[in-house]
Amino acid sequence: MARKKKTEEAPAGAPAWMATFSDLMNLLLCFFVLLFSMSSTDRAKYNEIVEAVTSSFSIFSGGGSALDQGILISSGVSQLNELAEYYSNLAVDNAAKEDGTKGGNGKSDNGKIENNNENKPDNNNNGKAEEDKEVTKDEVVKKYQKELKETAEKNYEKASEAINQFKLNDMVQLKMDTSYNYIGLSIDGYFLFDSGSAELKKGADKVLDKAAGILMKFKDADIVIEGHTDNVPQTNTVKYKNNLWLSGARAMTVLEYLTEVEHMDPKKLSASGKGEYEPIASNKTAEGRQKNRRVEIKIFNKVAD
């Protein structure tokens, strides 16, 4: 009678091929994670894949393999549910980064979802800031205009007192710019020049001496001397080819007198000729033409500088 063969006992522990198979699965999983980290993920499809992987592979052999954020796969314990949660949050974080300018939610360091809109400027606050800027700008403009007007009025009053002091009321007309940029002394040309001439007539020096006394009260102000004529053409002289040249020469004559005789600062003085182009009366009458023949001395407001 033949002897029965003894049944061979299976070796203890898991089969050798299982360790290799487990390592292969781990490598495939790592490769999958690597691909995922470099791609844009459709969250719905990703959840389906994670659930499929979770249901198919639930036990891993020990090996101490760890993933970021403390997710550990080791000791034969299934942690794919935690892995799914981790990568779900990661997908949301990536989506938030891609949306960038559109806003959205982001993942904080403690794993919680935070609203990135908190870091964005509040349009309402921006609007309020712009309104505040406009209010501030308006206040500055109003303050400037008020100061400009007050200074011009003070200058006008000072000049008016000086005109009375020097008894120039019949020779000089005082005016103030409607924008408060300057006050003006308008000297009748009859007291300064003969017809068609830019040389000071006899007695003109006395008028300019008194005018200089007024100007000395505004030493820090910029002063512009303007010559004006009527519209009668220059036919009796060949020295000045037109009224513009004549008016400019008269303005320069006054400027030279103020700097050379009255020793006023030439840096503060300038001259220009306006000819017949800025009349203050009609040139159709002798009286109107007489008013237009004048020298204006403008004293500019320091606030307007």
| Residue-range domains of the chain with CATH | 16-119 (no CATH), 139-304 (3.30.1330.60)
Q: Per residue in 258-297, is it b (16+ CB within 10 Å) or e — as a string?
A: beeeeebeeebbebebbbbeebeeeeeeeeebebbbbbbb
33, 37, 45, 113 from 42: Cα distances, Å = 15, 12, 6, 18
φ/ψ of 12, rounded to 5, equals -70, 150
Structure confidence at residue 66 (pLDDT): 45
Q: How much of the chain exceeds pLDDT 70, in percent?
A: 64
Q: H/E element holding 271?
A: strand 269-275
Cβ distance 192 to 205 under 8 Å? no
- 10-residue mean pLDDT profile of the chain (305 residues): values are 60 73 87 77 69 59 46 47 62 62 49 52 62 76 93 96 95 95 97 94 96 95 97 80 94 98 96 96 95 97 86
| pLDDT value of residue 21 | 84
pLDDT in tens, 165-216: 999 999 999 999 999 999 999 999 999 999 889 999 999 999 999 999 999 9
User: At 41, which amino acid appears?
Assistant: T
Residue 185's SS3 state is strand
pTM higher than 0.75 for the full model?
Answer: no
State residue 69's pLDDT score.
47
Strand order in the sheet with 182-188: 172-176, 182-188, 294-300, 223-228, 269-275
**pLDDT score of 87:** 60
